[in-house]
Structure 1
Amino acid sequence: MNTWNESGRVWEEDHGLLDAEQVAQCERADVAEPLRLPIPTRMISNGEYMPVPQTEQQQRVEARIEELADAASKKLGISRRKFLRSSGGMAATLLAMNDVFGRFFNVSLIEMFEPAAYAAVAPPKDLFVFDDQLHFVRGSKPSPAGLRAVAQGPTSAPTVKSNPFNPRGQSDELGQAWSVWNPALVGLPIDRGYAHITQFIKDVFLDSQVTIGLLSNVTASLVQIEGEGSRAPRNAAEAQRGEILTAAQTAAARNFVNRISGSTRMLCHGLLYVGKGNLAYIQEQTDQNEPDSWKGYNISNAAKVDNDPNSLMRQWRHDDEEVAYPTFELIQKNYEKLKDRKPGFNNICVHKGLAPGPSDPRRGHPGDLPKAARDWPKLNFISYHACIQPNFFLADTLKDIQTGTLLGGVPNIRWTTEYAQLVKDLPNCYAEIGTTWASSVVTFPTVAAHIMGQVLKFMGEDRVVFGSDSVWYGSPQWQIEALWRFQIPEALREKHGYPALTESAKRKILGLTSAKLYGIRGVDTGSYKPVPKDYESRMTEELKTLLEFDKLTADNMSRMKETYASAMGGCGCGVRRSRSLVPESEPRECHRPRSRQVDFTGPRFYRPVGAAGSEGASIRRTSDGQDFSARRHGAAQSPRGCSPDFDLARFIPIAIA
């Protein structure tokens, strides 16, 4: 790759790395960081961009952690370094963050001294988790780089070199333009296979506490037609070439996971193509694929309004009696026949929001829901992403909150506030938090608190459900941990009348409400069998052909797995080697031999030159290549095989951006 040198008026070779002059302005992060903190408070570069200095808030967090660690380590009679390696060090870090950013995390002083107290507020082993929005991509299609990059941050380079959803370079609440959502992704490659089925099963069922996952899909809005270019599809059959997963592929993946595990570990969506011209396809899916519920997109060109074979499909709205209602009628008719076997068949899940532009229900605005919900009381309308309008980066939403613009007595979060108030008295309307949660809890916790407070206030804790939108953002475990630890600050609750986010509410949101929606009676996690670790070897040739494995050769699959294993410093089973919060006498083991040791001794990771405590940025890497110094150990493992590949130390990346 070449870059243009304006002063010399020549093209020069660009390797995408810091030059010698830039490196001279930096120090090695693994030797220069003054503290070895569970959560980083300084920025590091992998050599592809210049690290920026600490923000004022990061300096305050670091100083407060040091103060707490000094006092606690002296009281416990241990070194500060040993304290920071423990669960007490993580508790001190969360306390410091609460002091600086507001009380967003459930943590107490006693947790600095009692590991049992710290473990008591982690997600418990008996937590039933129903993730109602999961995705993977069929083998012939590349995994979407932009969606992974927004969660991974700057180590997405060179595949993605800047935040794809922050073109104006605005700052989040942590003072960064590109903070990391899921630190477990830092340093991993973004390749075409990260969202294919083999990685999907590992991320969801081996590396997280998901008990049951709902595999979703996307109705195609545009298709590439030879000789015509890109246009809206004419019918559902033509749309299949643009889908990330077809209805048949979605159902086959569900059946495979459930068969090899001997338990109901996965459900699946049918594709909600609406309109008179698509009724035959809805019935075909019902008969052949037996979907557990339905997934659609108002904003997608997925409505066939007539039977003209040459007319193009278009966008749609829930309350269109001529377009949507015939589809709802057919689904309800089939539900009456199937409800004993498919009790969630009447769940209409529709992507709403993440769509800047006019407030049009055909783009996801919630104005079409009240009439549809009243006209179809036997159907449940589950609005994905809780209708939030801004997509993925919520700086403007934070400004709206700070300016004090109110709607119904609470800050007006575009479309979400209006949605919660429009459907508050409609018991068959449910808010799914999806990417709205993922994009706010780490980088905009104030926004996350208001969103959660508003859906609880107007809709109640029985009508809010969890979906992670994984595997776009990696394993869902970081979002599960985030929700379990999160709380709405008391000041916000008193000012706006938000209810507390209690443990009971969290259990309902994370799984129990969805269990009711899908007629799942067994919520004892111990009754679900694990997905076997050798799942890949159990895939039949028929399944591989259906999922288009022939488009992703076995050689490419092996190379992808080796790359991930190397970058993760382990074998790829979900157990990483990094400093653990458990005592050294309790080593964390992996079920397979380590495949490859990653060497970070070379001059690759840098921070700005500066004395300890001065303005500078660094994130310490451990000797085995991990970016963070501590891991939460002992998260629920049954029925998921290896321990979930997440730790709270990777939850709030204060300084990676």
Structure 2
Amino acid sequence: MWVPKWKRDQDRGVDSPIPTQVVSNEEFLPIAQTEQQAAWEDKILELSEKKARKLGMERRDFMRSSMGMATGFMAANLVFGHHWEVDAAETEDEAAGAEKWPKNEYFVFDVQTHFTAGFSIGSRGAEFLKNIGVKLGNNPKDYGFQNFVKEIFFDSDTDMAVISGVPGREIDKDKAGKILEGRDRRGGVLPSWLMSKSKKELNELAGCKRVLCQGNCAPNHYWNRKKNEPDWPALWDQVEREVKTYGIDSWKWYCHTDPGRSGNGFRMDDEKLAYPFYEKSKKLGLKVFSCHKGFASQSRTLGHFAHPGDVEKAAKDHPDLSFIVYHSAMKHGTWDPGFKDPKNFDPETGDFEWHKDLMEIKKRNPQMENVYCEIGTSFGTLAVLHPVMAQHLIGKNIKTYGADHVIWGTDCLWWGSPQWVIDA
């Protein structure tokens, strides 16, 4: 029986500021806690109890503080080896942490954040509940926009964010031919119309541009089954709606999904499917394409379309477009049985499957400047399970593509507040 993580933590008294096992970004089912993670959790409980008592604090209050966060990383070093920069003073003196890590030292722009269209998706097995000092709820409102604002902007140092798409196809007209608007268009977990609406509301509230949004539309979303090709008129109508009406700032493509029931995924270098979309988007002035790459096990039949190999030709043929490779194309998530396959990670070179292929693209094309690596979920899950791989992920991205081509993203609020990822 699946036990919600918040229930298991509540029963055990766990209130760690950092997840001590891999939790879900709602695109996979997480694996069970490993022996090392259990040891890490035990060490956090042990240290936090001692330090809270020494400071005359309740443990829960201690774990909600910057000292609790530092204690979590110190415990990780004791179990996994010294991978995180943390001093003992930071675990008992908030001023020490504040001096070492001053607030507002960095401008934090998170290009991968999510919420849902007002409903809970915990029935898929993952509860989005983390050990961050508070119990995260699993009700529709906990997945909604208001909690998104709280988790992203009030509970973290995030300055600016992109509301990132989740694949879904909007319905343009009803049976009578009437154009649908807003919620009537549906469109899945996080439709383009909702991202646009929420972006505008938050920016108006802030009085400045704090949020950008993506559009979900992709070449196989509107399909003519008789001709076995895109329903071009319907596709272009939606493309124009998302750019002109919604005011999206980027496309978000999931090549390994098929919302339009075309019977297949698609490649980004497909000259018959993707290239007409590129040209249409250029004419409309939108030149940023964010693409989910990696985590192949999400689709048993179309997972191969999540390989980054199709980015190379697309980027070379369209130097005036920018391609952001989400998740840095890590093939096997830490929840995937393939993650433990000896072929997945080479500890001598630091290479791992599909991520190496993304690095090779740049090595073959050193002058290519329009491909970027994003690290959402990949960095967070590796930081929890395999800190060495997390460091190779960041190090190789920067060494190969350059620091100005590595993009910060967290995949939150799937992970609760992104603050612990920022601190990591």
Task: Please give the range of the TM-score, normalised by the shorter of the 2 chains.
Answer: 0.7 to 0.9
| Inter-CA distance 123–137: structure 2 relative to 1 (3 Å threshold) | farther
| Inter-CA distance 208–57: structure 2 relative to 1 (3 Å threshold) | closer
CA contact (8 A) 1:215 1:268 kept: yes
Note the alpha carbon deviations across 1:425-480, whole angstroms, 9 max, x for none: 32111111112122221233232122222212222211111112122221222221
Note the alpha carbon deviations across 1:284-330, whole angstroms, 9 max, x for none: 32221221111111012257xxxxxxx84741111011110011111
| Inter-CA distance 125–395: structure 2 relative to 1 (3 Å threshold) | farther
CA contact (8 A) 1:398 1:444 kept: no
Note the alpha carbon deviations across 1:592-627, whole angstroms, 9 max, x for none: xxxxxxxxxxxxxxxxxxxxxxxxxxxxxxxxxxxx
1:291 aligns with 248
Q: Aligned partners of 1:258 and 1:60: how far apart in 2?
A: 40
Q: Figure out how many residues of one structure are paired with residues of the other and give that number.
A: 373
Q: Aligned partners of 2:19 and 2:303: how far apart in 1?
A: 42
Note the alpha carbon deviations across 1:94-149, whole angstroms, 9 max, x for none: 4453243122211235546865432233362342111111222223xx32216783
Indicate the RMSD between aligned Cα atoms, in angstroms: 4.2
Task: Determine whether 1:419 maps to 2:358.
Answer: yes
TM-score by length of 2: 0.73
CA contact (8 A) 1:65 1:96 kept: no
Whichever residue aligns with residue 189 of structure 1, its letter is G
2:226 aligns with none
Give 1:446's match in structure 2, choosing from 385, 388, 406: 388
Give 2:194's match in structure 1, choosing from 229, 234, 249: 249
Q: Aligned partners of 1:191 and 1:478: how far apart in 2?
A: 23
Matches for 1:111-510 after TM superposition, within 5 Å: 111=90, 115-122=94-101, 124-139=103-118, 142-145=119-122, 149=126, 151-152=128-129, 182-184=130-132, 187-220=135-168, 241-274=186-219, 276=232, 278-301=235-258, 312=262, 314-335=264-285, 345-356=286-297, 363-391=305-333, 393=335, 396-397=338-339, 400=342, 405=346, 410-424=349-363, 425=366, 426-482=368-424
Q: Aligned partners of 1:250 and 1:67: how far apart in 2?
A: 42
User: Which structure has the larger Rg over C-alpha atoms?
Assistant: 1
Q: Aligned partners of 1:125 and 1:148: how far apart in 2?
A: 37
Q: Aligned partners of 1:67 and 1:361: how far apart in 2?
A: 42
1:251 Cα deviation (Å)? 1.2
Identity of aligned residues (%): 29
Q: Aligned partners of 2:357 and 2:333: how far apart in 1?
A: 17
Q: Aligned partners of 2:207 and 2:116: how far apart in 1?
A: 24
Q: Aligned partners of 1:314 and 1:125: how far apart in 2?
A: 46
Q: Determine helix, strand or coil for the equivalent of 2:291.
A: strand
Whichever residue aligns with residue 295 of structure 2, its letter is L
CA contact (8 A) 2:68 2:91 kept: yes
Q: Determine helix, strand or coil for the equivalent of 2:214.
A: strand
Q: Determine helix, strand or coil for the equivalent of 1:410.
A: coil
Whichever residue aligns with residue 294 of structure 2, its letter is G
Q: Determine helix, strand or coil for the equivalent of 1:194.
A: helix
1:103 aligns with 82
CA contact (8 A) 2:55 2:92 kept: no
Q: Aligned partners of 2:195 and 2:17: how far apart in 1?
A: 39
Note the alpha carbon deviations across 1:180-228, whole angstroms, 9 max, x for none: xx312764332233211222222222222221111122232799xxxxx
Whichever residue aligns with residue 247 of structure 1, its letter is S
| Inter-CA distance 263–359: structure 2 relative to 1 (3 Å threshold) | same
CA contact (8 A) 2:294 2:331 kept: yes
Q: Aligned partners of 1:53 and 1:298: how far apart in 2?
A: 31
| Inter-CA distance 454–359: structure 2 relative to 1 (3 Å threshold) | farther
Q: Aligned partners of 2:94 and 2:150: how far apart in 1?
A: 29
CA contact (8 A) 2:269 2:311 kept: yes
CA contact (8 A) 1:123 1:481 kept: no
Alignment gaps of 5+ in structure 2: 4-10, 21-31, 172-181, 220-229
1:364 Cα deviation (Å)? 0.7
CA contact (8 A) 1:254 1:267 kept: yes
Structure 1 runs of 4+ off > 6 angstroms? Answer: 36-41, 56-70, 86-90, 357-361
TM-score by length of 1: 0.49
Q: Determine helix, strand or coil for the equivalent of 1:331.
A: helix
Whichever residue aligns with residue 98 of structure 1, its letter is N
Q: Aligned partners of 1:364 and 1:135: how far apart in 2?
A: 20
1:340 aligns with none
Q: Which structure would you say has the larger RCO, counting Cα contacts within 8 Å and 6 or more residues apart?
A: 1
Q: Determine helix, strand or coil for the equivalent of 2:383.
A: coil
Q: Aligned partners of 1:376 and 1:285: how far apart in 2?
A: 21
| Inter-CA distance 120–353: structure 2 relative to 1 (3 Å threshold) | same
Q: Aligned partners of 2:215 and 2:127: how far apart in 1?
A: 28
